[in-house]
Structure 1
Amino acid sequence: MTYLRKTGLKIYLTTLACVMLLFIIGGNNHHRHWVFDVCLYAGYYGVKMAPNLGFVLIYQVANEIYPTEARTTGCGVCLAAGRMAALLGPLVYEGSLGF
């Protein structure tokens, strides 16, 4: 079975919203009942899983709707910006704390 791209993106965004909600609910109430612990862990592992699904879907949609020159440049800039943010993020955080 295959899904349309828009359906896949809707499933991805709905899943991400649900697992974030589970994580928030479980994190705020995990000392009250074991059900909240299950919500916490389901939300945690869901937050780790859902962005990977979304990255694959969005990358595929970008490959299909943009011309080759724009796609190559846009994906390259986005990947480079992500790597620069990963490189500079810890330094900015430590600088903001005054270490």
Structure 2
Amino acid sequence: VPGVEGQVDLRSALLALAARGVNEVLVEAGPSLAGAFAQQGLVDEYVIFVAGKFLGSAARPLLDWPLEKLADAPQLKITEMRAVGDDWRVTAIPLPPASV
């Protein structure tokens, strides 16, 4: 589904999939696509794996999302955490933005 500047219109793509009976989509992507889904509010659930390592400032981000302050970050409700080998699997759902 074509969008602006050669990008896919993600919302329209999901609606087209839903019209074909697809109710769930797993998005396993890099920071650009994952960030686009997150910024457009198209994520129902995050499943994130956390390794026991630190990355430096030159590492790639989880999401391309220009958040500058902690107050700008979306709130998540962690629904499950479990060990997977030496890593952790964290499942979380986005919460609606706080009203002012």
Structure 1 and Structure 2 fold alike (TM over 0.5): no
Higher strand share: 2
Say which one has the larger Rg: 1
Q: TM-score, normalised by structure 1?
A: 0.31
